[in-house]
Structure 1
Amino acid sequence: MGVLSGVVSAAFSMEDTLSVLSAGDRIRNYEIQCLAGRGGMGCVYKALDTKLDRLVALKFLPLHLTFSDKDRRRLLQEAKSASALDHHNIGVVHGIEETPDGQPFIVMAYYEGLTLANRIAGRPIPLPETCDIFHQIVLGVSEAHSHDLIHRDIKPSNIILTRQGTVKVVDFGLALVVSDTDATRSLGIPGTPLYMAPEQIQRAPADRRSDIWALGIVLAEMLLGRHPFLRESFPSAIYAILNDPPVELDGIPQELQAVVYRALAKNPSRRYQTCAELQADLERFRNQWRSTDADRKNTATPPPPKPVREFKRYVHDASEPVSLGPDNKSKILRRLTATLAVMFAVLAALWFSPAQFWIRNFIRPPQKHIAVLPLDNLGSTPINPDVAAGLMESLTNKLSNLSPGKESVWVVPATVVRERGIDKPTAALRDLGATYVVKGSIERDGQNVRLTLNLIDTKSLAQIGSIEVDDPAGDIRGLQEEAIRRLARMLNIGPDTRPRGDSSVPAAYEAYLRALSYLQRYDKRGNLDLAISELQSANTSRSTTGSGSMRPSQTARRHPHSTISCRWSTSRWVGYTMMLAIAIWRSRSFNMPWTWIRETLTP
């Protein structure tokens, strides 16, 4: 089995890596023998160094990376640091070279064997073998840390088990180089997300303790045969890393459980601070285990294992949802106040409610997790599809605003539901963890509009209840308010709520719903302009219709100092704010130039 064959990362497609080489091809003084492995960081070829007559592994980084002079210097520096490590548990780096067309590649020692990922292959590794492998891994990482070199991407596929029984940790520092190239800088953080410490996921700088977290994941995976935060979907796994306890280590000696839990403390200050501390506890367990094993053989009733004094605290630290420390809070505050644009983005996000989902998501798991599914558009004269899509968004927002003090309610934003194509209760449970879904239809026949909503339990697929509201005048807003009131009672999540600033003019409200629909599909060119146009249209319709078309209670709310009047008078500002926020986000995420933002913001 090749040096790096194993788990293939989905970070880059196979076409992105150098795959045209075959046996017999030559690059400089290296003769290719075979493809040894491929992953997210590139591909590796087994080759013969014809000058020194030795086998080497040539690692080619993904072809789509554009290496500037700064990137090349960084890659060379990381390679120098790694090559300076002289330890039997660290893979040897011979140097950095380039192909004739300028593509850099790393020359490493070639090791016959298999990766730890292949060794695990979904099955637990016996305890003695696990301890021996992990002992060697920690020794290698500890040596690197003593030279101020952080790995940042420790995972089973970066650990090689040679045929001689020696463990080699490879790819030191490579994750940082790849993430910091001009072509990938928008990806944000270095490493493989499922093996990142919580602080790395939150974009805080990685240090030795981040590697220690990854070591805890690797140890748990060897003991269990699976990732300790494995979930049905990638977002759920990331959520679990930040908020949930790792899977229970049933059948594992408590002393070794304590090592895992302490390494997996979500707060880095509660983890092992150095590999030496971790190694000391591991050696203590190995000695106790050998002693207990000897007693087990010599006596009919071996002595019970000694309980770990701080075991409960270690379990608590690994289970407590992550929170930002004072230092990180101050850094984030400085960043938020650094530019007015970021403040606009936050305001816009709060205005359109989906931000509430993420806030609640990272506090603690809810008891009631609700998703509103796309509405079926029925009837002899169906309403505009954009109005139906906007109504789904508005229903979601209003559910989010019900009983804001209750932490037991968590509503998935319509953006998430739409982007993942969720249209069935089973999919909502599987991909979003939703316990309830609201599924229904909007039906128009002539002027009459009927809104039907069904509340469904996603686990049993039982219909909890059904709501049907008609309005002969086609007042969608009125239908929605009545439906929300009934839905709130059905869910038992709060008292009846009053409207929160929506126009009572049907034409204005439909324009508002169309604007929401366009904003949720902002990635389609032109939709941002359409959203602004609809918001302006809604404001115009509301002002030109006059108070005569409004209910008395609504007319009273048009007082200049009322919330509704204030909100609707700023609809255009909100639209531009949302556009600015989206433009900034896209420029940061996809390296788009500021000229694109200027073009987008041009009325």
Structure 2
Amino acid sequence: MARDNERSESSRNTGDTTCVVTGSLTGPDANSTDFELNVEAPAFERYDVIGEIERGGQGVIYKAIDKRLPREVAIKVLHPGHCGNEVVANGLANEARVMSYLSHPNITPIFESGVSKGGRPYYVMKYIDGTTLAKVLAKGDVPPPLCLKIFADICQAMAYAHSRGVIHLDLKPQNVMVGQFGEVHVMDWGLARFAEKPPPIILSHGWAESVEPGKRINGTLSYMSPEQARGEPLTTATDVFGLGAILCEIILGHAPYVADSCRKLFRRARKASMPETLSGLDESETDRVLVRLAKKCLAVDPRDRPQDAIAVAQEVADYQSSAFERVESDMNRFFELSLDLFCIADTHGYFRRVNENFTRVLGYSKSELLARPFLDFVIEEDKENTLDRMSVLSQGQHVVRFRNRYISAYGSIVTLEWMAKSISGEGLVFAVARDVSQSLA
């Protein structure tokens, strides 16, 4: 599914009120749309429209089939109510130019742009079969590591955009798509602009300012930085606030600003007033490193935030790396301190790793145990049964309380009782054994 960001939609964040602003500094009560909802789909020479995905105040998104290539696509078309509105038409065209300029795995690719048979500008993009991050989070059962991976992908997409001089200006969970296979796409670049002057390649393709004269505010109030709410100059640090807002929702389940009306949200956004959110972050059980990052990104003064998404992405990557190292260290300690015999073997019949208890029980050094097939240590009468259990493991089944006998380095017979599980697709077996020789005596 592809999405259009421009209009209000229900949300659990603000008492079932989400306020999307396209207006003046006086602060709207709500954003309304008076256009007819059931408008005939446009016709295209190359595409057969299947149906409407979503519509907003400025554009309508359709799902379609490409007649020339075997693929589904999403087509964003200018809303019929804006035909002849040069400012809005420029905005749609600029969105296509920005997205085509940003070639990144986490940014939806653009295939082409043009004008429909009915004279409505459009662009064609990849169809994403998935759901929004907002809906993913609303389920409330997403494992924290998956949430962190999604957030890391968002940061990587925005780090690339910032490296190309582009700022998004409407980052929020509703504008992030999570595909069926976990792929992440930052969507809805309709408010995007260049932090400085657009590069020559963009100017040569007809870039036109899409903002009407006078100070205007555009974006979603629940996630909006104070400088954006006040109509002040916007920089990459503005997007950093948006990243902090997404991380806040991942941690707490709601956006930084919570209120029961758009007017109240507007006042909160202008002052960056979020006392409940900041105290909620402090009281949450989330790792302090992520809490500090969220609060730093949500700083009132843009100069107190990381200056761009590149810095945020690096902090997230460093955290992920250190978290992996901590888990690996804990696993190593458990592996060696356990009283049981722990090992990792492969389906080819070799130990890949054994803990010290193998040496203690069997008398062989680790290097000896790893250098030879483990069947070499099993007594002849038990080799066939051991091979049979390995076959069961290779088929993805577990092995429970299997016993076989080993010849120790001292010539004695040691009976081990095993619990084992194979790792699908890895060709590895994780197993734990216990010496039960004395219980059989």
Class of the TM-score when normalised by the shorter of the 2 chains: 0.5 to 0.7
**Secondary structure at 1:114's aligned position in 2?**
strand
1:512 maps to which residue? none
* Contact 1:208/1:273 (<8 A) preserved: yes
2:367 maps to which residue? none
Which of 238, 252, 255 is the aligned partner of 1:224?
252
Per the TM alignment, residue 60 of structure 1 is displaced from its structure 2 partner at its CA by: 2.6
Q: Which amino acid aligns with 1:231?
A: A
Say whether residues 1:205 and 2:233 are aligned partners.
Answer: yes
CA separation of 1:109/1:187 partners in 2, compared to 1, >3 Å: closer, same or farther? farther
Name the CA distance, whole Å, in 1 between partners of 2:325 and 2:189. Answer: 36
CA separation of 1:283/1:68 partners in 2, compared to 1, >3 Å: closer, same or farther? same
CA separation of 1:46/1:75 partners in 2, compared to 1, >3 Å: closer, same or farther? closer
Name the CA distance, whole Å, in 1 between partners of 2:252 and 2:169. Answer: 23
CA separation of 1:122/1:35 partners in 2, compared to 1, >3 Å: closer, same or farther? same
Which of 96, 101, 104 is the aligned partner of 2:118?
101
**Secondary structure at 1:227's aligned position in 2?**
coil
2:66 maps to which residue? 49
Say whether residues 1:271 and 2:290 are aligned partners.
Answer: no
* Contact 1:21/1:32 (<8 A) preserved: no
1:514 maps to which residue? none
2:136 maps to which residue? 119
Per the TM alignment, residue 233 of structure 1 is displaced from its structure 2 partner at its CA by: 2.7
Name the CA distance, whole Å, in 1 between partners of 2:187 and 2:300. Answer: 25
Per the TM alignment, residue 56 of structure 1 is displaced from its structure 2 partner at its CA by: 1.0
1:80 maps to which residue? 97
* Contact 1:17/1:60 (<8 A) preserved: no
CA separation of 1:259/1:179 partners in 2, compared to 1, >3 Å: closer, same or farther? farther
Structure 2: unaligned runs, 5 residues or longer: 10-17, 21-30, 194-206, 335-441
Name the CA distance, whole Å, in 2 between partners of 1:17 and 1:299. Answer: 65
Please report the RMSD computed on the Cα atoms of aligned residues, expressed in angstroms.
3.0
Name the CA distance, whole Å, in 1 between partners of 2:217 and 2:209. Answer: 6
User: What is the TM-score of this pair, normalised by structure 1?
Assistant: 0.45
Per the TM alignment, residue 192 of structure 1 is displaced from its structure 2 partner at its CA by: 1.8
CA separation of 1:190/1:33 partners in 2, compared to 1, >3 Å: closer, same or farther? same
Per the TM alignment, residue 213 of structure 1 is displaced from its structure 2 partner at its CA by: 0.5
1:319-342: CA deviation from partner (whole Å, max 9, x where unpaired): xxxxxxxxxxxxxxxxxxxxxxxx
Per the TM alignment, residue 186 of structure 1 is displaced from its structure 2 partner at its CA by: 7.3
Q: Which amino acid aligns with 2:233?
A: P
Say whether residues 1:142 and 2:176 are aligned partners.
Answer: no
1:151 maps to which residue? 168
Greater share of residues in strand: 2
1:562-594: CA deviation from partner (whole Å, max 9, x where unpaired): xxxxxxxxxxxxxxxxxxxxxxxxxxxxxxxxx
Structure 1: unaligned runs, 5 residues or longer: 301-603
Which of 274, 295, 311 is the aligned partner of 1:261?
295
Name the CA distance, whole Å, in 2 between partners of 1:259 and 1:251. Answer: 14
Q: Which amino acid aligns with 1:20?
A: V
Instruction: Kindly report which structure 2 residues correspond to 1:262-301, keeping only aligned pairs within 5 A, or say none.
Output: 262-297=296-331
Say whether residues 1:235 and 2:252 are aligned partners.
Answer: no
* Contact 1:159/1:167 (<8 A) preserved: yes
Q: Which amino acid aligns with 1:47?
A: A
1:192 maps to which residue? 220
**Secondary structure at 1:266's aligned position in 2?**
coil
Name the CA distance, whole Å, in 1 between partners of 2:57 and 2:110. Answer: 19
CA separation of 1:134/1:164 partners in 2, compared to 1, >3 Å: closer, same or farther? same
Per the TM alignment, residue 92 of structure 1 is displaced from its structure 2 partner at its CA by: 0.8
2:39 maps to which residue? 20
User: What is the TM-score of this pair, normalised by structure 2?
Assistant: 0.60
CA separation of 1:41/1:237 partners in 2, compared to 1, >3 Å: closer, same or farther? same
* Contact 1:114/1:162 (<8 A) preserved: yes
Greater share of residues in helix: 1
CA separation of 1:179/1:85 partners in 2, compared to 1, >3 Å: closer, same or farther? closer
**Secondary structure at 1:89's aligned position in 2?**
coil
1:383-428: CA deviation from partner (whole Å, max 9, x where unpaired): xxxxxxxxxxxxxxxxxxxxxxxxxxxxxxxxxxxxxxxxxxxxxx
**Secondary structure at 1:279's aligned position in 2?**
helix
2:242 maps to which residue? 214
Question: How many residue pairs are counted as aligned between the two chains?
Answer: 295
